[in-house]
Amino acid sequence: MTIPFAKMNGIGNEITVVDLRAAGRRLDAETARRLAADPKTTFDQLMTIEPPRTPGTDAFMTIFNTDGSMSGACGNGTRCVALVLSQDLRRSDVVLETSAGLLLAQAESAARITVDMGTPRFDWPSIPLSEPFADTRAIELQIGPIDAPILHSPSVVNVGNPHAIFWVDDVEAYDLARIGPMLEHHPIFPERANISLAQVTSKGSLRLKVWERGVGLTLACGSAACAAAVAAARTGRTGRTVDVALPGGMLTIEWRGDDHILMTGPAAFEHRGTLALGETIAVTLADVPPIPA
């Protein structure tokens, strides 16, 4: 049996969407790693579309990182899945279920897809952290000499997965490829963490650079953009609606009064194809161009 897939991206975040609704199977970590190693299916995140498990939802979505680990949230990947399903279902509104809960998405067009990313969690056990902190707007964590740290006092929040945001004057002034792995695996984060450098450029805008848990440096991370926007508003650095500039492009994040986070941005198709899964994985690219959005 062949399984359809779409290679996509959300502002440079490489996404592979695998449609398992008719396959009668799920993917495992080893298969995800093998797909990540193939240039035709390589990804920052692999999103699987599975049959719905809860009445009123359109699909269950599982998220893998390149190392085969699983993620509770991927904003850019969710926009890609929303675009695929909205075209398939011929309607703009899509309800997705993940291990972290329900996500509501509206795909007005490929250029404008909005996802309700749910509510942030700020209490230290829910992030989670390995020790108590009464105030997670800034925790005691630093890299470098104690009297002159390179980075210190990050804001921490869970937006489907753990995030630490370090506030800096210039996101390009630090070698995140070097310090990101150390911080991702710091003992304070028992489930590891996504590490962001955030620069406030105005009351309504941020620049962001992200080391993504299980992936590494990435052109974009939607949940990190949500985490940074919420943390910026919570610490009084910005208002509750901000444009977040990442190396791959721009996302608009709104932290509504009801505590829900709305993320708006584009998604794009690169190519489509089919997979034949066995001892080896046969990848066949489709002869037809992507469906226009």
Please list the residues that pair with 102 across neighbouring strands.
97
Count of C-beta atoms within a 10 Å radius of residue 285: 11
Q: Are strands 249-255 and 241-246 parallel, antiparallel or unpaired?
A: antiparallel
Catalytic residue positions? 74, 221
| Cβ atoms 208, 238 nearer than 8 A | no
Place of tokens 């699987």: 48
**End-to-end CA gap in the chain:** 28
Q: What contacts 204, CB < 8 A, 6 or more positions away?
A: 238, 239, 241, 242, 243
Nearest to 89, CA basis, from 102, 114, 74, 107: 107
**Residue 286 CA to its chain's centroid (Å):** 27
